[in-house]
Structures are given as structure tokens and as C-alpha cells.
Amino acid sequence: PSPDATVIQFVGVTEISIDYSSPGVKGRKIWGGLVPYGEVWRTGANEVTSITFSDAVKVNGNNLAAGIYGIHVIPGENEWEIIFSRDAEVDGSSNYDETKDALRLKVKPEEHHFQERMTFLFTDVTENTVNVNLVWENLKVSFGVEVATTDLTLEKARKILSWVPSFQAAQYCLQNNINLEEAMKWIDASTLFSEVYWNLRIKAQLQHKLGMKGDAIGTMEKAIELG
């Protein structure tokens, strides 16, 4: 009766996903009826709705670490409270534990055209921001998410584009005495990113194997200095 649903949105290099169960109105009064005002609600049916951020974000200007959070709400006629809980395994509002709150927000509900099933929507996506909207019956409740896309992109690039991967490839070739010419290109690429003891040591050994003994001595002396 309340089918599972998942929505996913990338903002820059950050993935945001929401997993929830989607109940229907079915002719009932939802707000202040099926869902009472002033009480904690698990934001859907079955297990608590969860939201996952692959990176640290800001939610309505508040810092929130990367991870998975249960979303609880306390609806009111004029104001809602949105709760991000570190416990995402709750199977009902009765299991909610206030001590595990990571963040609480106060937001204003807005009128919305009729929506039979409870739905989460991502809107107004930019390279750094997105709005997350809960829509059901005749209301919409929203909060904004902001990510530091430029800083995150550079951070991820530095992790991937480092001296390590090409060093490891060259080291493998040296240890197995194979593919030495290409290994030399790989170790040169590694030292372009950063000259450290480890890659210069491998470079010196490759130079020696390839008959470049004078270069090998100079490279190993530099490696010793760094070491």
C-alpha cells in the first residue's frame, strides 16, 4: 500500500539520495488528521525515511557531515520542525531517540496542488545547491542543501591524481623485471606530481636497469636527501 521509492540527485560531485515509503491520501485528511500536529512523525510509512550525503553539506546554512540520516518531522499548522537523526534504522516514530539528533530545522509549509502520494522532489539544482521538497496532499515543505563543489572537486582530484598509482604500477614492473620502458614513463609521471623518497628510489633502480647509471646515481642521491 505504501511502495518504496528512491530519488537521487548529484550536485556537482556530491550524491544525495532519499529512500522512503510513499503512502497515499486515499480520501483521508492528512495534516492534523492522519499525521497529527505537534508529534514526531517518521516522514512516510514503514521504516523512517533516510537521506544520504556522499560529502559534507550545509542544510539551510547548518553544517552536516557526510553520511546517512533518518528524517523525522514535527508538523505544525504554521511551522514544521525537520529532524536529521544519526539513527536511520528506525521502524516507527515510537523508536525515535532525541539523543541521536544531528540537526533540527524550523521551516514554513507552503500550499501545493494536490498530490495523492507522498513524494520527495529535487528542484532548482545548480552546481552548488539544490532544494529538497516533501510534497503530499496539499502541502510542500522544503529545505536547501549547499555543497562546496569547487573544494570537493579539487580534493577528489588530488586523491585520484597523485604520485601513488603510477608509482605502484612502475614498482610492480621493477619487482617483476617486466615492461621496464613503460615503467620508466609511469615513474616519470609520478615524480611530476610529487618527488618523494619512494618514487625517486624506484626511478633510480629503473634507470640502473636501463643502463642509465649516471642518472641513477644522481636520482638515488636525491632520494636519500628526501628520505
- Per-residue DSSP letter, 147: -
Instruction: Please tell me whether the overall predicted TM-score, pTM, comes out greater than 0.75 for this model.
Output: yes
- In the prediction, which pLDDT does 92 show? 65
Alpha helix ranges (H) inside 59-179: 149-160, 164-176
Report the pLDDT value the prediction gives residue 186, as an integer from 0 to 100: 97
Given this model, what pLDDT does residue 93 score? 62
Angle at 109 between CA 69 and CA 114, to 5 degrees: 100
Q: What are phi and psi of 98, to 5 degrees?
A: -60, -25
- Counting as low any pLDDT under 50, the low residues of the chain are none
pLDDT at 4: 95
Give the pLDDT score at 55.
97
pLDDT digits (tens, 9 = 90+) for 177-226: 999 999 999 999 999 999 999 999 999 999 999 999 999 999 999 999 99
Sheet of 110-123: strand order equals 62-64, 57-59, 129-146, 110-123
CA pair distance 85, 130, nearest whole angstrom? 21
Upper half-sphere CA count for residue 108 (Cβ side, 13 Å): 2
Is the distance from CB of 180 to CB of 206 less than 8 angstroms? yes
**For residue 158, what pLDDT is reported?**
86
